[in-house]
């Protein structure tokens, strides 16, 4: 598994993936980390897919991350007496707490926290933004609205509230059950949906208790507002463009995506760009030109990873979708201006030994023909700081911890080798050169840069840099 790209691929598992052979093909095509979407499927389904990934990891001797994506609270209207209604622009519609089936004049909204948060003049979006209502009056148990954009509304359609922060935990009772199951299973990452504020991250961390790393999904306007605070508290960020594109004007999404990538890079947090990246490949063996450009733009902006959702979970061409995404990534990374673009957005270094060394290896790899940057890392922290610099050479992270290696599977440019004996390594340079050659990253005569902490094995102690030539 010699690395041939720096941007990682996160692929969603679902019924389109039939077994271990399919998983192996996806990994060999470029997948680095898999997503279990707990909005769909039973626990038994996820457990089986988890075991498939772990078996492929064992076969290939290659660390593969697994992320569980929690569903989060789904806000929906109630049911209609006739199953659906037609709403005309300008008409009135009341949403209330009465569970009685609705009609064209009123419908149940079984979420008192929404009624509490809304004020006259605010907007509600229904059915993924296809219908728009504006609040005209607020009551203790209901809100009156005027239809701004009408259409058909049927039972249990979703509700988005872009202009209010709801007093609502992002973790439902279902999420808590799913989280307990996933942590027991051994997932490496937990993606938290419907994040609104920093307190949501604190709540989730208390439940996770360090058993997995936490990725916050940015899909609410309030989360964009609190982006830096949220990113400081979590381990990674996902730009969840599906709901985000409903709750903010579509033309704002590219700018928000760029801002999130820039913020995450400055803070040293991996960032994943997600949703509808190669959507047409659910039913077609080739993507649209616009989709190719979308993936290429995210890569050029410096994202750590790009995600496939239904394309691999339920599409007709999951392998082709991964192969296409890998081709796009390699094409951008091999372009003449890719490294220059990344250097323009280089983040401000902090006054630490780790950042000083990370800045140095980026500069060295731009001056010398460096084949690989080898970093000894117990916790993965120093590898992430090196990744933040976006150096030209691949970062080979040597760690005794499989847990750490799986965590780094989402981070730009890092490829990990796990060996428990690295705890006792005495000759740092010779071991690094030997592993770099074995992994196909360096040949005789190549220059390799090595970073480590002395004394070795103490997390957070990276303070040594060596330049070696493979003899």
Residues carrying an active site annotation: 35, 76, 217, 275
Instruction: Report how far apart, in Å, the C-alpha atoms of 433 and of each of 92, 204, 281, 440 are.
Output: 72, 41, 41, 11
Question: 347-356, long-range: CB within 8 Å, 24+ apart, which pairs?
Answer: 347/265, 347/266, 347/268, 347/388, 347/389, 348/266, 353/462, 353/463, 354/381, 354/382, 354/385, 354/460, 354/462, 355/385
Give the span between the Cα atoms of 217 and 244, in whole angstroms.
10
Residues with Cβ within 8 Å of 266's Cβ and at least 6 positions away in sequence, in order, are 347, 348
Strand 213-218 and strand 189-192: the pairing is: parallel
Residue 166, CB-side half-sphere exposure with 13 Å CA sphere = 20
Identify the burial level of 76 via C-beta atoms within 10 angstroms of its C-beta, where 0-12 means exposed, 13-18 middle and 19 or more buried. middle
Angle (CA) 131-136-140 rounded to 5° is: 105
Question: CA 152, CA 201: separation in Å to the nearest integer?
Answer: 36
- Residues in the chain, total: 471
Continuous segment of H or E residues that includes residue 105? none
Which H or E run includes 124?
Answer: strand 123-126
Contact 16/316 with Cβ under 8 angstroms?
Answer: yes
CA distance 159 to 221: 15
Q: Do residues 69 and 10 touch, judged by C-beta distance below 8 A?
A: no
Cis preceding linkage at 164, omega within 30 = no
């Amino acid at each position: 598994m010699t690395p041939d790209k720096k941007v990682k691929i996160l692929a969603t598992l679902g019924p389109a993936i039939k077994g271990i052979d399919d998983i192996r093909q996806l990994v060999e095509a470029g997948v680095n980390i898999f997503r279990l979407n707990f909005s769909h499927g039973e626990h038994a389904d996820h457990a089986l897919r988890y075991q498939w990934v772990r078996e492929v990891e064992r076969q290939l001797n290659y660390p593969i991350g697994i992320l569980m994506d929690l569903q989060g609270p789904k806000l929906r209207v109630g049911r209609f007496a006739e199953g659906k209604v037609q709403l005309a622009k300008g008409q009135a519609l009341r949403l209330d707490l009465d569970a009685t089936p609705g009609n064209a004049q009123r419908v149940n909204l079984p979420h008192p926290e929404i009624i509490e948060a809304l004020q006259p003049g605010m907007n509600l979006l229904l059915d993924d933004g296809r219908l728009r209502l504006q609040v005209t009056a607020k009551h203790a148990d209901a809100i009156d609205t005027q239809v701004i954009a009408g259409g058909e509304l049927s039972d249990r359609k979703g509700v988005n509230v872009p202009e209010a922060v709801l007093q609502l935990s992002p973790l439902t009772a279902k999420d808590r059950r799913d989280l307990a199951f996933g942590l027991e299973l051994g997932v490496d990452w937990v993606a938290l949906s419907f994040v609104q504020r920093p307190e949501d991250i604190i709540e989730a961390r208390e439940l996770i208790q360090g058993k997995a790393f936490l990725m916050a999904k940015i899909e609410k306007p309030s989360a964009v507002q609190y982006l830096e605070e949220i990113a400081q508290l979590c381990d990674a960020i996902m730009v969840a463009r599906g709901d985000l594109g409903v709750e903010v004007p579509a033309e704002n999404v590219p700018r928000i995506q760029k801002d999130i990538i820039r913020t995450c890079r400055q803070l040293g947090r991996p960032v994943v760009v997600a949703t509808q990246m190669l959507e047409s490949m659910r039913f077609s063996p080739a993507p649209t030109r616009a989709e190719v450009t979308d993936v290429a733009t995210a890569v050029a902006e410096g994202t750590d990873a790009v995600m496939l959702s239904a394309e691999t979970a339920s599409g007709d061409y999951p392998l082709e979708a991964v192969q296409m995404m890998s081709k796009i990534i390699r094409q951008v990374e091999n372009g003449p201006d890719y490294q220059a673009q990344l250097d323009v957005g280089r983040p401000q270094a902090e006054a630490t030994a780790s950042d000083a060394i990370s800045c140095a290896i980026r500069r060295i790899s731009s001056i010398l023909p460096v084949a690989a940057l080898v970093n000894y890392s117990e916790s993965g922290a120093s590898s992430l700081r090196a990744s933040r610099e976006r150096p030209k050479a691949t970062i080979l992270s040597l760690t005794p911890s499989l847990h750490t290696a799986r965590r780094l599977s989402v981070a730009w440019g890092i490829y990990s080798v796990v060996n428990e004996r690295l705890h006792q390594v005495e000759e740092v340079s010779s071991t690094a050169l030997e592993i770099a050659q074995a992994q196909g990253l360096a040949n005789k005569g190549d220059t390799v840069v090595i970073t480590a902490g002395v004394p070795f094995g103490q997390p957070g102690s990276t303070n040594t840099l060596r330049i070696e030539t493979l003899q």
